Amino acid sequence: MISTKELRFAYKNMPFLFPDIHCNSGDTLLITGASGKGKSTFLHLLSGLLKPHSGAVYIDNTDITLLNTQQSDLFRRKNIGIVFQQSHYIASLSLWDNLVLCSQWPDKMITAERVEMVLSQLRLINQASQKPGTLSVGQQQRLSIARAVLNMPSVLLADEPTSGLDDANCYRVAETLISLSKDNNTSLLMVTHDQRLKDIFQSRIELL
């Protein structure tokens, strides 16, 4: 579960007051808005990558705005998965090794069976030995999703995950994220300006 209360942030002379949100485990929320309305800033606040000037972000009853940098990093690693707009991989490693590298955390070890299951869920198991650069754009985005859900997070955040995809891959990626959130009982929040997604998400808000 994730919720916010009176979240405020400002870049110099650009103040943002974000609407209060609430997204239960297994539910989804689409956050839309034009460029410059603070969508990515909102997501970074929700993930703890940015500290608000005021307000609170609750994830499973923990206000992450009160955590120090070390505590925030550890909490995010355990509880939050992020699908970034631009994919970042180690190009010299295979898909499998990229995911195994993500699992080398002493506080939350991920088994090989979990890596295999996630790759299978995202229809990438046949490409497990390939390098990321050999994948299609849609496959690369699914690899980003695999990395984000590998540690079974409580909250899954997606930043414009469909902006560079054609219609078929756009809907496929969105439906995959929704399906994974329900299967893993994860709260899914997606920020986007992609108007194609409005009919897919039952709950949505627009930043004005």
- CA–CA distances in Å: residue 184 to residues 1, 22, 73: 12, 18, 22
Expressed as residue numbers, the domain containing 74 is 2-206
Q: Poorest-confidence range of 15-24, 97-106, 149-158?
A: 97-106
Q: Which residues of 127-145 are buried (b: 16+ CB within 10 A; e: fewer)?
A: bbeebbeebeebbbbbbbb
What tokens appear for 146 in the block? 């695999």
Predicted local confidence at residue 109, as pLDDT:
66
Q: Which CATH number do you get for residue 36?
A: 3.40.50.300
What confidence tens digit (pLDDT) does each residue in 31-60 have?
998 888 899 899 999 999 999 999 999 999
Number of domains forming the structure of the chain: 1
The predicted pLDDT at position 108 comes to: 60
Q: SS3 for 27?
A: coil
